Amino acid sequence: MATARKLPSGSWRVYAYDYTDVNGKRHYQSFTASTKKAAEIKATQYISMHDHGKTDMTFGECVNLFITQRTPVISASTIKEYIGYSNRYMKSLSQIKISKITQNDIQQEVNELALTLSPKTVRNVHGFISAVLSAYRPELALHTVLPKKVPPKLYVPSEAEIQRLMDTVSGTVMELPILLAAFGPMRRGEICALRAENIDGSVVHVCENMILDKDNRWIVKSPKSYAGDRYIDYPDFVSEKWKGIRKGRVTELNPTMITKRFEHCLQHAGLPHFRFHDLRHYSASIQHALGVPDAYIMQRGGWKNDGVLKNVYRHTMEEKTKEMNKKVNSYFENMHHEMHHENEKAQ
Cβ neighbours around 342 below 10 Å, total: 10
pLDDT at 54: 54
Characterize the bridge pairing of strands 209-212 and 5-6.
unpaired
CA dihedral 57, 58, 64, 68 (to 10 degrees): 20
> Strand pairing partners for 30?
15
Distance CA 209, CA 127 (A): 24
Second-level CATH architecture of 159-308: Orthogonal Bundle (1.10)
pLDDT at 49: 63
pLDDT at 39: 84
pLDDT at 249: 95
DSSP conformational letter for 249: B
pLDDT at 20: 66
pLDDT at 322: 65
Residues 309, 238 contacting (CB under 8 angstroms) = no
Spell out, as residue ranges, where the chain has pLDDT lower than 70. 1-2, 19-23, 48-55, 152, 313-325, 336, 340-347
As a CATH number, domain 5-136 is 1.10.150.130
Provide the residue ranges of all domains of the chain, joining segments of one domain with +: 5-136, 159-308
